């Protein structure tokens, strides 16, 4: 399940901050190559049949709990090398032997290498003789030997990654592409992951130990202290060592996977049947058949009602807010979740058997209508995820908590800095000024759900129908888009030869589900651009996504084929490739030969970015707070976690939003489903929002998109701050977004 992509609810609305990230929730091998963008979560999560959904989550939870406790009690603490009785004596002997052989100048390297191997060596890897023979044979005692070794690993791992990825893509082809029915065995092929056992195999055959012996694993603080003075080769070598910085037993990985599956299922089946929400006077505000997945579709319903055709938009928005609050505090009646067979008044919390039916299936005979609340399942699922991922802690010495792994390894920006960036956004007076502007535009005081205000998005000059007609004519098939790519790239600012070269590396294919982009794992392979192409051609939405994905593919091509070390291929993390893809996507109208958005439209888009980035930053602060609370209270019950989450959500609200909204103790910031199933992924969104503005600002300053894009991509996968300094002269931070917002407020104010 780890190679599955996770996306937010929007269907790739242009420049929507929620689609910044094509979300993947773990640092799994495939993450380096896949960007899964802008589509509906429902499509990805494949919402399964609703009947008996909750009991399935409950069953899974109990199996899962058994599994985690099996890990804790049966396997116990890791058999660390310190428990191997001969290890200490052996290390002392080896150190003096190796220093005698290779010279005192190598002593520090020798000590560090020995420590790294000892950290991961287990009884089953061999006894003292085997250990010592291995060390003596595999230690590279001088620079020339080390260089040869590194080059060989780099060359061979490229082959391993590249070919494994080609197998994975071939196995998934029927599932991912619009090629006719998916047969039962296709699903099994699609689920097969050629990367799944590579790490275990490399510890088993000891190729991982050879790396650990010779190349230092660095902590984030070391990289931040000295990384700027490292050579490119040193960076590449540290990326090699990173691959083996943890050795997680299969049972622990399985428990984490299982926790992910339980959480995914819980979230995927959490629908609200909106036609069954009734007001005090029995009115139904939502249409028949409307089924909204929490929280994405609920939030999108709030957004959609800013431009509703009737005058019940505000009432609908308030109702959705009430539903969300009851999900967060778990006063939601269990019987209304995922069920079209009961009517519910979310204000009074009364339920009764549905007075109308908007589904084909009849109500189950044993339907028990009661407003008994959901029994804190939301928090039970979250606690289970926490209990699973903390089993990894003892096997991850350089990042010993999930919070550390999330910030130090996945993001590579220290938590304190990320939090400070979020606070800078949220405590800026721009939040207040933007809030007042929204009030003026709405003609009423702000209400809590207005954190999702989307009315800044400018009405386009061109109608969707006109745009559809244009793109369908130009791109009747995926092949037509592929053939036109060299022209599109010239239009973006690449020179003609380069555009040909880049386009030749991209295969365009019709996606079955949402658009996505697969990079390649080796220089000889091509990248894959997938987008929806209808029977009558590519509509504007499909084109818009294709341009976004093309940004990913061009980044993937340059950062793999045109950089100095395979180990440095790619960009620091998903936020960077998303920001680069948005550079392309923002210019899609120009590529159709139409006028680009004017100054005011751009200013409004910036305000939309700012308001949305601030909102998700606040949500991320809640997520971070909750994870700290769980680590501080490892024995907590679901009820205690709920109380803590509510408190944290209110605190964050009261600190930043209460002064702007003039209302206290709102819990809405706790509603995101990512909090339950994405294991501390949320902070990536606001960081992505800031990065996008830094990159846009730089490209605007230079005025040469093609050259700047190339220059940025060639930095490869170094630390985010170094990448950004190379790209823009400054570390990752909120200033570009804040400056753009201040400018945008001036422009909008004078209109
Ligand atoms: Zn994307």
Task: List pLDDT tens digits, range 521-568.
Answer: 999 899 999 988 989 999 999 999 999 999 999 999 999 999 999 999
Domain endpoint, select from 185, 211, 245? 245
Residue 581 C-alpha to ligand 1 middle, in angstroms?
6
Whether 186 and 175 have beta carbons less than 8 Å apart is answered as: yes
CA 397 / ligand 1 centre spacing (Å): 32
192 shares a domain with 60: no
Q: How far apart are CA 317 and CA 528, in angstroms?
A: 40
Distance of CA 96 from the midpoint of ligand 1 (Å): 52
Look at 627 and 32; give whichever has higher pLDDT.
627
User: How many angstroms separate the alpha carbon of residue 23 from the centre of ligand 1?
Assistant: 9
pLDDT for 45 beyond 50: no
C-alpha of residue 588 to centroid of ligand 1, in Å: 15
Query: CA 281 to CA 694: how far, in whole Å?
Result: 51
Residue 69: is its pLDDT beyond 70? no
* Residue 63 predicted with pLDDT over 70: no
On the question of pLDDT at 14 being above 50, the answer is: no
Q: Are residues 388 and 332 in the same domain?
A: no
Sign for the CA dihedral angle at 299, 300, 301, 303 comes to positive
The residue among 712, 482, 489, 470 whose CA lies nearest residue 584 is: 489
Give the chain's mean pLDDT. Answer: 89
**Where does the pLDDT of residue 717 fall: very low under 50, low under 70, confident under 90, or very high at 90 and above?**
very high
621 and 422 in contact (C-beta within 8 Å)? yes
439 Cα: distance to centroid of ligand 1 (angstroms): 32
Name the residue among 425, 384, 376 with its Cα closest to residue 646.
376
Domain match, 277 and 135 both? no
Indicate if 623 and 548 belong to the same structural domain: no
Residue 293 Cα to ligand 1 midpoint, Å, equals 22
Tell me, yes or no, whether 93 and 66 share the same domain.
Answer: no
- 261 occurs within a structural domain: no
Above pLDDT 70, what percent of the chain?
89
Least confident of 49-58, 124-133, 316-325: 49-58
Of 48, 76, 104, the residue at which a domain comes to its end is: 76
359 and 225 both lie in a single domain: no
**DSSP letters of 331-378?**
-SBGGGTT-SSEEEETTTTEEEE-SS--SSSPPPTT-----PBP-SHH
Is 497 inside a domain boundary?
yes
Q: How confident is the model at residue 169 (pLDDT cuts 50, 70, 90)?
A: very high
Strands annotated E in 649-744: none
Residues 45, 293: Cα–Cα separation, whole Å: 11
Q: Are residues 72 and 90 in the same domain?
A: no
Ligand 1 centre to CA of 742 (Å) is 27
Predicted local distance difference test score (pLDDT) of residue 745:
97
Note the pLDDT of residue 70.
59
Task: Give the domain range for residue 93.
Answer: 81-245
Buried b (16+ CB within 10 A) or exposed e, 431-467: bebbbebbbeeeeeebbbbbbbbbbbbeeeeeeeeeb
The total number of residues written for the chain in this structure: 751
Picking from 582, 668, 667, 674, the residue whose alpha carbon sits closest to that of residue 302 is: 668
Rounded distance between C-alpha atoms, residue 431 and residue 223, angstroms? 34
**216 Cα to the center of ligand 1, angstroms:** 33
Q: Please state whether beta strands 506-510 and 527-531 pair in parallel, antiparallel, or not at all (unpaired).
A: parallel
pLDDT tens track for 587-646: 999 999 998 788 898 999 999 999 999 999 999 999 999 999 999 999 999 999 999 999
User: HSE-up of 445 (CA within 13 Å, CB side)?
Assistant: 8
At residue 37, does pLDDT exceed 60? no
Q: Is 59 in the same domain as 167?
A: no
Whole-number Å distance, alpha carbon 34 to ligand 1 midpoint, is 9
Percent of the chain scored above 90 by pLDDT? 74
Dihedral sign of CA atoms 442, 444, 445, 451 in order: negative
Judgement on whether residues 278 and 388 belong to the same structural domain of the protein: no
Q: What kind and span of H or E run contains 529?
A: strand 527-531
Distance 549 CA to ligand 1 centre (A): 6
CA of 378 to the centre of ligand 1 (A): 29
Name the DSSP letter for residue 410.
I
Separation of 531 CA from ligand 1 center, angstroms?
11
Q: Are residues 293 and 366 in the same domain?
A: yes
Give the CA radius of gyration of the chain.
27
Asked if residue 577 belongs to a domain, the reply is no
Task: Let me know if residue 41 belongs to a domain.
Answer: yes
At 328 the pLDDT is 98
Residue 653: what pLDDT?
Answer: 98
Is 662 a domain residue?
yes
DSSP state of 134: H
- What are the pLDDT digits (tens) for 269-284? 899 999 999 998 889 9
**Total of domains in the chain:** 5
Say whether pLDDT at 82 is over 90. no
Give CA separation, 115 vs 94, 109, 214, 243, 600, in Å: 11, 10, 11, 17, 59
Q: How confident is the model at residue 677 (pLDDT cuts 50, 70, 90)?
A: confident
Q: What pLDDT digit, counting tens, does each position of 342-379 carry?
A: 999 999 999 999 999 999 888 888 888 999 999 999 99
CA of 701 to the centre of ligand 1 (A): 24
Please say which residue of 245, 276, 306 terminates a domain.
245
Dist. CA 596 → ligand 1 center (Å) = 21
Instruction: Tell me what pLDDT residue 53 has.
Output: 47
**12 has pLDDT over 50:** no
Is residue 260 domain-resident?
no
Cα(55) to centroid(ligand 1), Å = 35
| Window from 205-214, 337-346, 364-373, 653-662 with minimum mean pLDDT | 364-373
- Cα(202) to centroid of ligand 1, in Å? 32
Residue 23 has pLDDT above 90, yes or no: no
DSSP character at residue 291: E
Instruction: Kindly give the distance from the C-alpha atom of residue 529 to the centroid of ligand 1, in angstroms, as a whole number.
Output: 11
Ion ligand 1: protein residues whose beta carbon lies under 5 Å: 22, 35, 37, 581
Q: Residue 13's pLDDT is what?
A: 29
254, part of any domain: no
Interhelix angle 377-389/53-70, nearest 10 degrees: 30
Please state which of the ranges 33-47, 159-173, 332-346, 678-692 shows the lowest mean pLDDT: 33-47
Residues 350 and 426 in one domain: no
- Inside any domain, residue 258: no
What is the 3 state secondary structure string of 58-80? HHHHHHHHHHHHHHHHHHCCCCC
Residue 509 dihedral angles phi and psi, to the nearest 5°:
-140, 150
Kindly state the helix (H) or strand (E) to which residue 476 belongs, with its residue range.
none
What is the Cα–Cα distance from 82 to 79, expressed in whole angstroms? 8
Q: Are residues 208 and 143 in the same domain?
A: yes
* End-to-end C-alpha distance for the chain, whole angstroms: 50
């Amino acid at each position: 399940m780890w190679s599955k992509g996770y996306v937010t609810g929007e269907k790739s609305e242009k420049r929507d901050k929620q689609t910044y990230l094509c979300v993947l929730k773990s640092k799994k091998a495939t993450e380096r190559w896949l960007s899964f963008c802008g589509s509906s979560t429902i499509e990805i999560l494949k919402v399964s049949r609703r009947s008996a959904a909750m009991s399935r989550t409950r069953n899974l939870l109990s199996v899962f709990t058994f599994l985690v406790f099996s890990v804790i009690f049966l396997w116990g603490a890791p058999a660390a090398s310190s428990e191997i009785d001969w290890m200490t004596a052996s290390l002392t002997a080896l150190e003096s032997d190796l220093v005698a052989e290779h010279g005192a100048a190598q002593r520090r390297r020798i000590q560090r290498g020995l420590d790294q191997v000892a950290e991961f060596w287990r009884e089953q890897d061999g006894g003292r003789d085997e250990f010592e023979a291995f060390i003596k044979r595999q230690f590279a005692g001088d620079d020339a030997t080390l260089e040869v070794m590194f080059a060989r690993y780099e060359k061979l791992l490229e082959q391993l990654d590249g070919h494994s990825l080609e197998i994975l893509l071939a196995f998934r082809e029927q599932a991912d592409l619009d090629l006719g029915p998916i047969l039962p065995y296709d699903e099994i092929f699609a689920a097969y992951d050629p990367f799944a056992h590579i790490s275990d195999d490399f510890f088993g055959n000891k190729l991982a130990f050879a790396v650990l012996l010779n190349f230092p694993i660095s902590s984030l603080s070391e990289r931040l202290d000295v990384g700027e003075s490292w050579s490119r080769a040193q960076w590449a070598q540290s990326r090699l060592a990173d691959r083996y910085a943890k050795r997680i037993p299969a049972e622990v990985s399985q428990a984490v996977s299982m926790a992910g599956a339980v959480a995914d299922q819980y979230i995927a089946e959490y629908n609200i049947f909106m036609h069954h929400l009734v007001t005090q006077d029995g009115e139904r505000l939502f249409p028949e058949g409307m089924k909204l997945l929490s929280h994405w579709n609920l939030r999108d319903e709030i957004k959609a009602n800013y431009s509703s055709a009737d005058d019940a938009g505000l009432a609908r928005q308030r109702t959705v807010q009430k539903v969300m609050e009851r999900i967060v505090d778990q006063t939601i009646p269990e019987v209304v979740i995922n069920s079209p067979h009961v009517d519910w008044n979310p204000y009074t919390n009364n339920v009764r058997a549905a007075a109308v039916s908007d589904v084909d299936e009849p109500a189950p005979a044993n339907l028990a209508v009661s407003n008994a609340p959901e029994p804190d399942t939301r928090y039970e699922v979250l606690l289970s995820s926490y209990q699973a991922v903390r089993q990894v802690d003892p096997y991850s010495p350089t990042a010993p908590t999930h919070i550390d792994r999330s910030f130090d390894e996945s993001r590579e920006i220290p938590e304190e800095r990320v939090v400070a960036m979020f606070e800078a956004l949220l405590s800026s007076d721009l939040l207040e000024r933007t809030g007042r502007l929204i009030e003026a535009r709405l003609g009423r005081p702000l209400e809590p759900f207005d954190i999702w205000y989307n009315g800044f998005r400018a009405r386009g000059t061109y109608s969707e129908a006109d745009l559809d007609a244009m793109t369908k004519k130009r791109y009747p098939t995926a092949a037509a888009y592929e053939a036109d790519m060299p022209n599109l790239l010239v239009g973006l600012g690449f020179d003609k030869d380069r555009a040909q070269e880049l386009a030749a590396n991209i295969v365009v294919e019709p996606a079955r589900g949402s658009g996505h982009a697969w990079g390649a794992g080796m220089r000889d392979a091509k990248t894959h651009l997938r987008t929806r192409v209808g029977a009558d051609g590519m509509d504007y939405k499909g084109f818009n996504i294709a341009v976004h994905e093309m940004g990913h593919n061009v980044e993937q091509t340059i950062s793999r084929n045109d950089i100095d070390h395979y180990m440095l291929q790619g960009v620091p993390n998903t936020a960077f490739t998303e920001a680069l893809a948005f550079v392309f996507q923002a210019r899609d109208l120009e590529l159709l030969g139409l006028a680009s958005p004017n100054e005011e439209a751009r200013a409004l888009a910036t305000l939309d970015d700012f308001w949305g980035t601030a909102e998700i930053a606040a949500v991320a602060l809640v997520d971070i707070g909750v994870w700290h609370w769980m680590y501080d209270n490892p024995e907590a019950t679901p009820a205690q976690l709920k109380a803590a989450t509510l408190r944290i959500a209110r605190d964050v609200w009261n600190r930043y939003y209460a002064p702007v909204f003039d209302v206290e103790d709102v819990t809405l910031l706790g509603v995101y489903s990512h909090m339950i199933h994405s294991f501390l992924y949320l902070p990536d969104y606001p960081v992505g929002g800031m990065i996008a503005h830094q990159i846009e600002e730089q490209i605007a300053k230079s005025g040469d998109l093609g050259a700047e894009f190339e220059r940025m991509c060639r930095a490869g996968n170094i630390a985010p701050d170094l990448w950004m300094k190379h790209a823009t002269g400054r570390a990752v931070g909120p200033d570009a977004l804040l400056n753009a917002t201040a400018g945008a407020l001036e422009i909008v104010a004078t209109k």
